Structure 1
Amino acid sequence: MAEGSTRCLIGLLAILAVVTQSFCDPELYYEKQRYDGWFNNRAYPDWGSVGSRLTRKTPASYADGVYMIAGADRPGARTLSKLFMRGQDGLPSLANRTALLAFFGQVVTGEIVMASESGCPIEHHRIPVDKCDHMYDPDCQGAKYMPFLRAAYDRSTGQSPNRPREQINQITSWIDGSFVYSTSEAWVNAMRSFQNGSLASEGGMPLRNTKRVPLFNNPVPHYMRMLSPERLYLLGDPRTNQNPAMVTFGILLLRWHNVVAARVHRQHPDWSDEQLFQRARRIVIASLQNVILYEYVPAFLGVPIPKYSGYKAEVAPGITHAFAVAAFRFGHTLVPPAILLRDRNCRYGRAPGGHDAVRLCQTWWDGNDVMSQVPIEEILMGMASQLSEREDALLCSDVRDNLFGPMEFSRRDLGALNIMRGRDNGLPDYNTAREYFGLPKVKTFNEINPELFENNPDLLQKLIQAYDARLDNIDVYIGGMLESTGHPGELFRAIITDQFTRIRDADRFWFENDKNGIFTREEIEELRRITMWDIIVNSTAVGPADIQRDVFHWRAGDPCPQPYQLNASKLPPCKYLKGYDYFEGNEFAYIYTCLVLVFVPILCAGAAYGVVKLQNSRRRRLKIQQEHLKNAQYKGSVDKMVCREWVHASHKRLVKLRLGPEPALHVTDRKGDKLRTVPLDHTDQLTVLESQEGRNNKRPLVLIRAAREHDLVLEMDSVASRRKFLVKLDAFLAQHKKALSLSQGHREQILATAETRERRQRRLEHFFREAYAITFGLAPGEKRRRSEDADPESIVMRTSLSKSEFASALGMKADAVFVKKMFNIVDKDGDGRISFQEFLDTVVLFSRGATEDKLRIIFDMCDNDRNGVIDKGELSEMLRSLVEIARTTSLRDEHVTELIDGMFLDAGLQHKDHLTYSDFKLMMKEYKGEFVAIGLDCKGAKQNFLDTSTNVARMTSFHIEPSMEQSRHWCLLKWDYLTTFLEENRQNIFYLFVFYVVTIGLFVERFAHYSFMSEHLDLRHIMGVGIAITRGSAASLSFCYSLLLLTMSRNLLTKLKEFSIQQYIPLDSSIQFHKIVACTALFFSLLHTAGHMVNFYHVSTQPVENLRCLTKEVHFTSDFRPGITYWVFQTVTGISGVLLFVIMCMMFIFAHPRVRKRAYPWFWRAHSLYVALYALCLLH
Structure 2
Amino acid sequence: MARFNFLAECGGSRTPCAFISRSSKSKRNTVPVNRSRRTTCDSSDTYRTADGTCNNVENSSWGAAGAQLARWLEPEYASGTGGNPRALASDGSDLPNARSISNHVHFELSFLSVKHSVMVMQWGQFLDHDITGTPVLTDNGSDIDCCDRTDSVLSDPDSPCFPINLPDGDFYFGDGKCMNLVRSEAVSGTGTDSSNPRQQYNELSAFIDGSQIYGISDSEMAELRDTDSGSGLLKVGTNNLLPEGDSDDCFLDTSDSSNYCFKAGDSRVNVFPGLSALHTLFMREHNRVATALKGYNSDWDDEKLFQEARRIVIAELQVITYNEWLPQVLSDDGAANYSLGLGNYNYNSTLDPSLSNVFSTAAFRFGHSMVPENLTIGGEVVDTGDLFKRTKYVINSLDNVISSFLDAPGERADAWYVDGMRQRMFEEDSATKDGFDIVTLNIQRGREHGLPSYNDWRDYCGLGKITSFTSDNDFGLFQANDLEEMYHSVDDIDLYSGGIAEAPVAGAAVGQTYICLIGEQFKKLRDGDRFWFESTDAVTGFTSDQITQLEKATLSRIICDNADNISTIQRQAFLNVNIGGVETANPEVSCSTLKEVRLRKWQE
Instruction: Please classify the TM superposition score into its range, dividing by the shorter chain length.
Output: 0.7 to 0.9
Residue equivalent to 2:559: 536
Letter in 2 for 1:238: S
Deviation (angstroms), 1:30: 5.3
Q: Does 1:365 align with 2:389?
A: yes
Residue equivalent to 2:46: 31
Higher helix content, 1 or 2:
1
Residue equivalent to 2:530: 508
Q: Deviations over 1:381-412 (max 9, x none)?
A: 22111100123111111111111279998211
Deviation (angstroms), 1:443: 2.0
2:205 alignment partner, SS class = coil
Aligned-residue identity in percent: 29
2:119 alignment partner, SS class = helix
1:198 is matched with which residue: 228, 233, 240? 233
**1:516/1:106 CA distance change after superposition, 3 Å:** farther
2:112 alignment partner, SS class = coil
Q: Deviations over 1:1112-1164 (max 9, x none)?
A: xxxxxxxxxxxxxxxxxxxxxxxxxxxxxxxxxxxxxxxxxxxxxxxxxxxxx
Residue equivalent to 1:124: 161
**1:290/1:532 CA distance change after superposition, 3 Å:** same
Q: Does 1:472 align with 2:491?
A: yes
Aligned counterparts of 1:281 and 1:427: Cα–Cα separation in 2: 36
Deviation (angstroms), 1:450: 5.3
Residue equivalent to 1:437: 461
Q: Does 1:484 align with 2:503?
A: yes
**1:222/1:520 CA distance change after superposition, 3 Å:** closer
Q: Deviations over 1:1044-1077 (max 9, x none)?
A: xxxxxxxxxxxxxxxxxxxxxxxxxxxxxxxxxx
CA contact (8 A) 2:78 2:86 kept: yes
Aligned counterparts of 2:384 and 2:222: Cα–Cα separation in 1: 31
Aligned counterparts of 1:359 and 1:188: Cα–Cα separation in 2: 35
Letter in 2 for 1:532: L
**1:477/1:447 CA distance change after superposition, 3 Å:** farther
1:239 alignment partner, SS class = helix
Aligned counterparts of 1:523 and 1:222: Cα–Cα separation in 2: 45
Aligned counterparts of 1:447 and 1:430: Cα–Cα separation in 2: 16
Residue equivalent to 1:103: 122
Aligned counterparts of 1:450 and 1:52: Cα–Cα separation in 2: 34
CA contact (8 A) 2:190 2:199 kept: yes
Deviates more, 1:144-153 or 1:77-86: 144-153
CA contact (8 A) 2:75 2:452 kept: yes
CA contact (8 A) 2:475 2:503 kept: no
Residue equivalent to 1:114: 133
CA contact (8 A) 1:448 1:483 kept: no
Deviation (angstroms), 1:292: 1.1
Total equivalences in the alignment: 498
Computing the radius of gyration from Cα coordinates, the structure with the larger value is 1
**Following superposition of structure 1 onto structure 2, how do residues 1131-1150 of structure 1 map, counting pairs within 5 Å?**
none
Aligned counterparts of 1:405 and 1:498: Cα–Cα separation in 2: 35
Residue equivalent to 1:66: 82
**1:405/1:448 CA distance change after superposition, 3 Å:** farther
Aligned counterparts of 2:292 and 2:249: Cα–Cα separation in 1: 37
Residue equivalent to 1:328: 364
Aligned counterparts of 2:428 and 2:72: Cα–Cα separation in 1: 32
Residue equivalent to 2:189: 156
Deviation (angstroms), 1:338: 2.6
Aligned counterparts of 2:410 and 2:472: Cα–Cα separation in 1: 24
Aligned counterparts of 2:217 and 2:77: Cα–Cα separation in 1: 33
Letter in 2 for 1:86: F
**1:405/1:158 CA distance change after superposition, 3 Å:** farther
Residue equivalent to 2:284: 255
**1:259/1:448 CA distance change after superposition, 3 Å:** farther
Residue equivalent to 1:734: none
Deviation (angstroms), 1:105: 0.9
Letter in 1 for 2:417: L
1:400 is matched with which residue: 422, 427, 433? 422
1:295 is matched with which residue: 309, 324, 334? 324
Q: Deviations over 1:117-138 (max 9, x none)?
A: 445675222212121211110x
**Following superposition of structure 1 onto structure 2, how do residues 132-531 of structure 1 map, counting pairs within 5 Å?**
132-137=169-174, 142-194=175-227, 195=229, 196-202=231-237, 203-209=239-245, 217=248, 220=251, 231-303=260-332, 304-305=335-336, 306=339, 307=341, 308-341=344-377, 349-350=378-379, 356-367=380-391, 369-374=392-397, 376-404=398-426, 410-447=434-471, 449=473, 452-453=476-477, 456=478, 459-468=479-488, 470-485=489-504, 487-515=509-537, 517=539, 518-531=541-554
Letter in 2 for 1:416: T
Aligned counterparts of 1:530 and 1:218: Cα–Cα separation in 2: 32
Deviation (angstroms), 1:59: 1.5
Q: Deviations over 1:343-390 (max 9, x none)?
A: xxxxxx33xxxxx323331232222x222222x122212211110012
1:93 alignment partner, SS class = strand
Q: RMSD across aligned C-alpha pairs, in angstroms?
A: 2.5
Letter in 2 for 1:39: C
1:93 is matched with which residue: 113, 128, 144? 113
Deviation (angstroms), 1:522: 2.1
Q: Deviations over 1:488-547 (max 9, x none)?
A: 111100000000000000000001111253201221122111111121111223545x21
CA contact (8 A) 1:385 1:560 kept: no
2:70 is matched with which residue: 37, 49, 55? 55
Letter in 1 for 2:515: R
Aligned counterparts of 2:421 and 2:370: Cα–Cα separation in 1: 11
Letter in 2 for 1:401: Q
CA contact (8 A) 1:180 1:254 kept: yes
Unaligned runs of 5+ in 1: 1-28, 342-348, 351-355, 562-1180
CA contact (8 A) 1:536 1:542 kept: no
**Following superposition of structure 1 onto structure 2, how do residues 702-717 of structure 1 map, counting pairs within 5 Å?**
none
After TM superposition, the score normalised by the length of structure 1 is 0.41
1:487 alignment partner, SS class = coil
**1:106/1:83 CA distance change after superposition, 3 Å:** same
Residue equivalent to 1:46: 61
Aligned counterparts of 1:446 and 1:159: Cα–Cα separation in 2: 40
Aligned counterparts of 1:37 and 1:120: Cα–Cα separation in 2: 28
**1:474/1:528 CA distance change after superposition, 3 Å:** same
Aligned counterparts of 1:222 and 1:76: Cα–Cα separation in 2: 36
Aligned counterparts of 1:460 and 1:484: Cα–Cα separation in 2: 11
**1:534/1:282 CA distance change after superposition, 3 Å:** same
Query: Moved runs in structure 1, 4+ residues, more than 3 A?
Result: 116-122, 217-223, 405-409, 447-451, 541-544, 558-561
**1:145/1:218 CA distance change after superposition, 3 Å:** farther
**1:286/1:450 CA distance change after superposition, 3 Å:** closer
**1:248/1:309 CA distance change after superposition, 3 Å:** closer
Unaligned runs of 5+ in 2: 1-43, 89-93, 145-159, 590-604
Deviation (angstroms), 1:110: 0.3
Residue equivalent to 2:40: none
1:125 alignment partner, SS class = coil
2:267 alignment partner, SS class = coil
Letter in 1 for 2:437: D
